[in-house]
């Protein structure tokens, strides 16, 4: 089985959208992707496959492809920025948890020391 990350799947979908003409009508995959983004969940691959099968096939002009590539670059920059923020938040949360654990250990040792000194 081929494993693909959510970001890889998103980029694959966007590349497919570049090939398809999505400017004249709402693309069938939009509802699947929007639903996943609204819920903050992974994209349902079965629904996506059905939507892609329904997608209208048309050729895109070089100008449309260039426009979509520019949008894809912007989206990638946003995704990269979001990833960095998420990693920073995760690192902060881990550091806070470690700090809380160290403070608890220190407090336990202080209590233990006070009991010994009495």
Q: Looking at per-residue confidence, does 105 or 83 come out higher?
A: 105
Q: Which of 19-23, 42-46, 103-107 has the highest mean pLDDT?
A: 103-107
Predicted TM-score (pTM) of the model is 0.44
Share of the chain above pLDDT 90, in %: 18
Q: Tell me which residue of 56, 58, 53, 71 sits closest to 15, measured CA to CA.
A: 71
- Other Cβ atoms less than 10 A from the Cβ of 18: the count is 18
Q: What angle do CA 45, 76, 86 make, to 5 degrees?
A: 85
Q: Which residues are CB-neighbours of 72 under 8 A, at least 6 positions away?
A: 11, 14, 15, 18
Q: What is the spatial distance between Cα 68 and Cα 72, in angstroms, rounded to a whole number?
A: 6
- Is-contact 55 25, C-beta < 8 A? no
Q: What is the pLDDT of residues 43-85, one digit of tens each?
A: 777 887 787 776 555 556 778 777 777 877 887 788 888 888 8
């Amino acid at each position: 089985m081929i494993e693909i990350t959510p970001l890889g799947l998103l980029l694959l979908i966007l590349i497919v959208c570049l090939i398809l003409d999505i400017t004249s009508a709402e693309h069938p995959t939009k509802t699947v992707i929007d639903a996943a983004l609204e819920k903050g969940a992974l994209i349902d691959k079965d629904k996506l496959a059905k939507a892609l099968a329904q997608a209208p096939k048309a050729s895109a002009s070089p100008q449309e492809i260039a426009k979509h590539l520019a949008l894809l670059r912007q989206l990638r920059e946003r995704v990269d920025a979001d990833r960095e923020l998420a990693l920073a938040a995760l690192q902060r949360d881990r550091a806070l948890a470690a700090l809380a654990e160290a403070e608890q250990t220190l407090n336990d040792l202080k209590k233990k020391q006070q009991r010994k000194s009495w």
